[in-house]
Structure 1
Amino acid sequence: MDFNYKTIVITGGAGFIGSNLAMYLQEHYPSARIIIFDKFRTGEKFESGNFTSLGHFKNLIGFKGEIITGDINFKEDLKKIAQIDFDILYHHAAISDTTVMDQKLVMQTNYQAFLDILEIVLQKNAKMVYASSAGTYGNTKAPNIVGVGENPENVYGFSKLMMDMSVRSLLKNNPELPIVGLRFFNVYGEREFYKGKTASMILQLGLQALKEKKVRLFEFGEQRRDFVYIKDVILANILAASAKKGGIYNVGSGIARSYNDIVAYLKEVLGDFDVEYIPNPYKFFQTHTQADITEFYQDLGYQPKFDLKTGILSYIAEIKEIAKGL
């Protein structure tokens, strides 16, 4: 799809995935009108100590498009989106911190606000690509297949599943609606630093190795996740906008790797360091995720280009730069 001369709105555009998407579109489609809508960071934090907003201006240094500050929970702010004659809306704004226990706030932000934005999109006959999550699967058996084993174990995963269920209901009566949900697995890569403690284990372990010469893993590092590099995630977003019909797809590498695998690859590029195994304090923790990406490949040609090793190799220069500033 050619995005040139299209008007594109990205909610959560100052966050990790949203900012990477904005920069990609700016570079490859210079005639596109790109508008970022983001709450941006304040000093406000959740009880966990994590920031309530992960949007950060430094993710957008070099961005030449338009910026709207707003909160998706506020109807008055959503009117700013409704006033735009857009072609595509990428919805990445959400509470993505899985440790947040305020169920009302998570459901309002992730689900109810999504319905409000979806209504705007439908009124404009525009396309929508939105962020769902592997959290919809909880700890059900991998490989994870859309429509199978959808049993979330925290309110974050539940909120994302409710988004998907609403879209399924719409598509049942009108399958040609260009509304596409992307269930992201464990995304890592450039511009995730401002996620803080919710950043990927690739970044967290890399920084621990560089600064402390020791990393900490939950016993005994054999938990397996589907780690997907940000450049493959951006590819998925681009492909989803070209869909001729609606749908929900997994976005992962298609391969589950252990935390010990991450450590092994980091040692290859950073040298040796110690590993300490500690008890897992979390009641809920996904021990094995793996995206079945067959349908995404068949429908839209999604083929990840980075395995875990090549992703880490591509990312390591930024990890080193971040470590220098800490």
Structure 2
Amino acid sequence: MHTTNKPRVPLSLLMVVGIIAISFSAIFVKWSEAPAPVIAMNRLLLTVLVMLPFIFKYVPEFRKISLKSYGLLVASGVSLGLHFLFWMESLRFTSVASSTAILTLEPVLVMVGSFWIFRHKTSKVALFAMAIAVFGAVLIGWGDFKFSGDALQGDILSFLGTVAVAVHMIIGKSLIEHMSAYVYSLFVFLIGAIVLGIYNVGAGYSLVDYPAHEWGLFLLLAIVPTIFGHYLFNWLLKYMQATSVSMSVLGEPLGATILAYFLLHENITAIQLVAGLLLLVGVGGFIHSQEKGSSSEHPPLAERALQKEASI
């Protein structure tokens, strides 16, 4: 069987696709009038339904998963559910720019966690690029940060969602090295939906009684930012370090802010434009430095991942 060290499509191009996809998430949430936990639950449930027809060829892999791995899958799914719950709820209290800018702490948290658990080291060049990107992303939302009232509540919720998704990413990296992205994603999305469903029942929210346009938004959230965003990032965990994949979130404030300008009529300042350029330079520099390092330092992992995908 012929294998290569990494997919033929450039990883950086796939990252761009994922960044554009997740940038639509805040827009769809802002358009919806359903409670945030309901949006998150139905987003994940519809994603599972879209993926379900492909499950049959993965049944043997489900049977081989160890009890420990199932426990980690549940933990990852719970973390993802909490991420969606906290982050989507934050958009009810604060702006798109502010909420998504706080998410830029994710790669920092993932980097620390990856070093602690996997001993993954990050080069000085990559750290400098990350600092530039984080600075740019924070600048995008700086004017919208508030330290009192509803906006503060929204910012705190966004931070809690960032911690949750960092845990989800770190656990995902440990699992995705020995299972397919499909199996990991399907299970985690389902657990996340169950967690949110339990919360919604306890909070007294209706689970299905919503008009057609709301279900259209739920479906858009499932297809665009979840399948072309989160699922793609899960797949990229096979070929990139968790810190590198989590850097994709730094592109979301820029993408979401631009989309919010055209679709939600939110303003873009000159500072945000400059910050966006800094962000792009930082993300591009980080990914480039990590791709160079991974191609020379970790070819066996990529090769094993490709062999695993090809054999399923």
User: Is the strand fraction higher in 1 or 2?
Assistant: 1
TM over 0.5: no
TM-score calculated relative to the size of structure 2: 0.29
- The structure, 1 or 2, with the larger RCO (C-alpha pairs under 8 Å, 6+ apart) is 2
